[in-house]
Amino acid sequence: MQKEFDLFCQQVGELLETKAQAKNYNQSGTNGPNLLYEFVRETVGGDHHAMGEIIYKARRFEARGDVADVLKIAAWAFLVWKYRGEQQ
């Protein structure tokens, strides 16, 4: 089971690191600031956009069954966790 979880975490990490940098969403990786996330969060007054993305990806997963959406849900959930944790 640990190998499966490690693979899951690795794939989520790749979304947050490599793919986010390639799309110019975030240049500092998971440990640094995510300037795009911070901008959107400040603009909408919270994590509403991220929560909407999670809901959208969940509905799309149910419709299409593409497990890539589950990884994207986890990536968005990490960002919510990260930024909510920084507030406390």
Q: What is the mean pLDDT of each run of 10 residues along the chain (88 residues)?
A: 92 91 84 91 96 98 98 97 77
Please give the pLDDT value at position 45: 96
| Contact by Cβ (8 Å): 69, 58 | yes
- The end-to-end CA distance of the chain, in Å, is 32
Listed in sequence order, the residues at least 6 apart from 77 whose beta carbon sits closer than 8 Å to its beta carbon are: 54
Please give the pLDDT value at position 24: 83
Give the domain range for residue 70.
2-87
Please give the pLDDT value at position 86: 62
**Eight-state DSSP code of residue 21:** H
- Token code pair at residue 25: 């969403």
Domain count of the chain? 1
- Token code pair at residue 37: 């996330």
